[in-house]
Amino acid sequence: MQNGVAQQANFNLDDGLWTAADTTVQYTYGIQFSHETVGRLRATRLKQGPNPDSIIMAGKGDVELTDSTYMIALNLQCGRQGDTGSP
């Protein structure tokens, strides 16, 4: 809080594992992942609080949600002529 106003922040899960249970995420511009490293989220009963944005599935994100209520944004970046870089 700053002067009574909530300050939102980026939530970057760039590398490693975050295991969460009975957790509420609030005031974030989204849970985001790196394009170079693998961030993994394993959450049970993950909930959205005020201004939560979404789990932004881009890059090398690896997410498993169980019994959770949370928005997910799916993104697929394409290179030249629609090449995703996938085999």
Overall domain count for the chain:
1
Residue 72 lies in a domain: no
Copy the structure tokens of residue 28: 């974030």
User: Tokens 């009975």 appear where?
Assistant: 22
Residue 84 lies in a domain: no
Residue 18 lies in a domain: yes
Residue 68 lies in a domain: no
Residue 26 lies in a domain: yes
Angle at 84 between CA 83 and CA 86, to 5 degrees: 110
Residue 46 lies in a domain: yes
User: Could you read off the pLDDT tens digit of each residue along the chain, which spans 87 residues?
Assistant: 778 888 888 899 999 999 999 999 999 999 999 989 999 999 999 999 988 889 998 888 899 999 998 999 987 666 666 555 555
Model's pTM, two decimal places?
0.78
User: Domain range for residue 51?
Assistant: 10-60
CB atoms within 10 A of CB 77: 9
